[in-house]
């Protein structure tokens, strides 16, 4: 427990004074530390060693549209999508980013024409993932001009809830599926035929949702942050159908950060290959548990515990999800979202503030274009913090 903030930073409950009552439980961010234990068990097997002379050049593969993309990462990405069956990679360009957050911006840059008479609207159906829209919420975004081309991104503005957008003009729709914050499966909702779509599939992995089909969209974004839990590695990838769009996204990253850390790309490649290997071994019925078996069981257990905790009170409710059969695991289950979209029952309760009074930090509905009766709670914390949370929640009386 941090002396300065009272926030829980340790990993064992035995270190917590007074059973944890005085401790702040911070479930505001979706920091995916719950997977740490799986990777810890792997021990030295996952260690990456880099010599002083390695990865010095800016360039990775000058023949590729994305010239700073490491070939090993491409192989690892393609193999994993094939193993899981969650996205089509054939005939796609892979663009790597510093997290998928950078790829969001790169895609907006690539899709908004520099010479448009007015800013292009960027919409998403509420409740929507807020970080992606952060830069575009105001019309008057100022970017430091390192290069004239960077100013072109100003040609976008936040167009609001896609359900309500009905202007007869081009727009970009962000489709996050499964959705952050509420875990639902989403389809594009924008009316009219002038929408260009960006699909954020950060959570389209078998620990969160049954895999139904291999996604086949024009621009699909993924990240190691949510698939394997390596948020600190800061690697995301885009699967892009159109070569020109992939080229423009690459240009954005070139202007922005002159590429993406090679050390991180190679670490991400090693991690993704290890996940694929673990699935292969599990298929061969060896004793080893695959990463997705481990993470699915862990998520399913957490959701069970959370629902039990919520059912002990009259104060809160959670969304329910219908079950489907996952083509990857063969299991039939309902969504196990990375975030719980908790509703405070009763007259106009501000759920975020209410929980904050009980030292549980969450992110309220207003951050996602939704009502303050809702709040988003990370399900990805370490076990000790999650346990404290499920103990404290039913103890809140009113």
Binding site for ligand PMP (CB under 6 A): 30, 99-101, 129, 176, 180, 200, 202, 223, 225, 231, 236
**In whole angstroms, how close is the CB of 367 to ligand PMP at the nearest point?**
12
State the DSSP H helix or E strand holding residue 221, giving kind and residue range, or none if neither: strand 219-223
Q: Distance between CA atoms of 222 and 200, rounded to whole angstroms?
A: 7
The distance of closest approach from Cβ of residue 353 to ligand PMP in the complex, given in angstroms and rounded to an integer, is 22
Q: How far is the CB of 363 from ligand PMP (least distance, A)?
A: 11
- HSE value, Cβ hemisphere, 13 Å, CA-based, for 91: 6
Q: Are 34 and 381 in contact (CB under 8 A)?
A: yes
Cα–Cα distance for residue pair 137/157, rounded to 1 Å: 6
The span from the CA of 88 to the CA of 215, in Å, is: 6
Query: Which lies closer to ligand PMP via its Cβ, residue 20 or residue 70?
Result: 70
Residue (177 or 329) nearer to ligand PMP, CB = 177
Give residue number: closest CB to ligand PMP: 99
Decide whether 200 or 352 has the Cβ nearer to ligand PMP: 200
User: Smaller CB distance to ligand PMP: residue 233 or 315?
Assistant: 233
Least Å distance, CB 184 to ligand PMP, is: 12
Nearest to 76 by CA among 283, 227, 275, 368: 275
Which is closer to ligand PMP, CB of 173 or CB of 200?
200
With vertex at residue 394, the alpha carbon angle to CA 342 and CA 15, rounded to the nearest 5 degrees, is: 105
Q: Which of residues 84 and 106 has its CB atom nearest to ligand PMP in the complex? A: 106
Residue owning tokens 């040609």: 155
Q: Which is nearer to ligand PMP, 89 or 180 (CB)?
A: 180
Choose between 30 and 159: whose C-beta lies nearer to ligand PMP.
Answer: 30
Smallest gap from Cβ 203 to ligand PMP, in A, equals 6
User: Could you please report the per-residue DSSP string of 356-393?
Assistant: HHTTEE-EEGGGGTS-TTEEEEES-S-HHHHHHHHHHH
Q: Give whichever of 236 and 364 is closer to ligand PMP, judged by the CB atom.
A: 236
> How far is 376 from 362, CA to CA, in rounded Å?
6
Q: At what angle do helices 243-257 and 99-111 cross, to 10 degrees?
A: 120
**Shortest Cβ distance from residue 12 to ligand PMP (Å)?**
26
Whether the bond into 178 is cis, omega within 30 of 0: yes
Q: What's the min distance (Å) between Cβ of 183 and ligand PMP?
A: 11
Q: Least CB distance from residue 339 to ligand PMP, whole Å?
A: 8
Residue 393 CB, shortest distance to ligand PMP, in Å, is 23
Closest by Cα among 337, 268, 255, 257 to 94 = 268
Count other C-beta atoms under 10 Å from residue 260's C-beta: 27
For ligand PMP, the closer CB: 111 or 309: 111
d(CA 388, CA 311): 17
Least separation in angstroms between residue 31's CB and ligand PMP is 9
Burial 83-117 (b: 16+ CB within 10 A, else e): bbbbbbbeebbbbbbbbbbbbbbbbbbbbbeeeee
From 130, 129, 116, 101, select the one nearest 253 (Cα to Cα). 101
């Amino acid at each position: 427990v941090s002396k300065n903030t009272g926030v829980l930073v340790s990993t064992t409950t035995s270190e917590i004074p007074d059973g944890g009552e005085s401790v702040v439980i911070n479930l505001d961010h979706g920091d995916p530390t719950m997977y740490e234990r799986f990777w810890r068990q792997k021990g030295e097997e996952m260690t990456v060693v880099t010599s002083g002379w390695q990865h010095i050049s800016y360039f990775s593969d000058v023949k590729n549209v994305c010239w700073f993309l490491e070939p090993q990462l491409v192989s690892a990405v393609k193999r994993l999508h094939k193993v899981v069956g969650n996205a089509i990679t054939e005939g796609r360009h892979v663009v790597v980013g510093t997290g998928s957050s950078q790829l969001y911006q790169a895609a907006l840059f690539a899709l908004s024409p520099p010479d448009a008479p007015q800013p292009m609207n960027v919409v998403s159906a509420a409740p929507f993932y807020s970080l992606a829209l952060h830069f575009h919420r105001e019309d008057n975004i100022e970017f430091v001009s390192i290069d004239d081309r960077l100013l072109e991104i100003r040609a976008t503005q936040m167009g609001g809830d896609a359900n309500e957008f009905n202007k007869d003009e081009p727009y970009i729709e962000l489709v996050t599926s499964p959705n952050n914050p509420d875990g639902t499966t989403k389809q594009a909702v924008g009316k009219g035929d002038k929408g260009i779509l960006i699909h954020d599939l950060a959570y389209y992995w078998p620990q969160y949702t049954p895999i139904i089909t291999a996604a086949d969209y024009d621009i699909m974004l993924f990240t190691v942050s949510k698939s394997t839990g390596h948020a600190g590695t800061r690697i995301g990838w885009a699967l892009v159908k159109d070569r020109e769009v992939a080229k423009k996204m690459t240009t954005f990253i070139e202007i922005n950060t002159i590429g993406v850390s090679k050390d991180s790309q190679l670490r991400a490649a090693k991690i993704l290959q290890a996940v694929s290997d673990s699935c292969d071994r599990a298929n061969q019925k060896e004793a080893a548990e695959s990463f997705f078996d481990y993470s699915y069981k862990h998520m399913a257990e957490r959701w069970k515990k959370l629902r039990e905790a919520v059912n002990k009170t009259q104060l809160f409710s959670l969304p329910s999800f219908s079950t489907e059969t996952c083509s990857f695991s063969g299991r039939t289950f309902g969504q196990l979202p990375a975030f719980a979209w908790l509703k405070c029952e009763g007259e106009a309760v501000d759920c975020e503030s209410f929980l904050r009074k009980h030292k549980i930090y969450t992110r309220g509905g207003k951050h996602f274009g939704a009502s303050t009766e809702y709040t988003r709670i990370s399900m990805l914390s370490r076990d000790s913090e999650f346990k404290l949370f499920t103990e404290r929640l039913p103890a809140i009386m009113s």
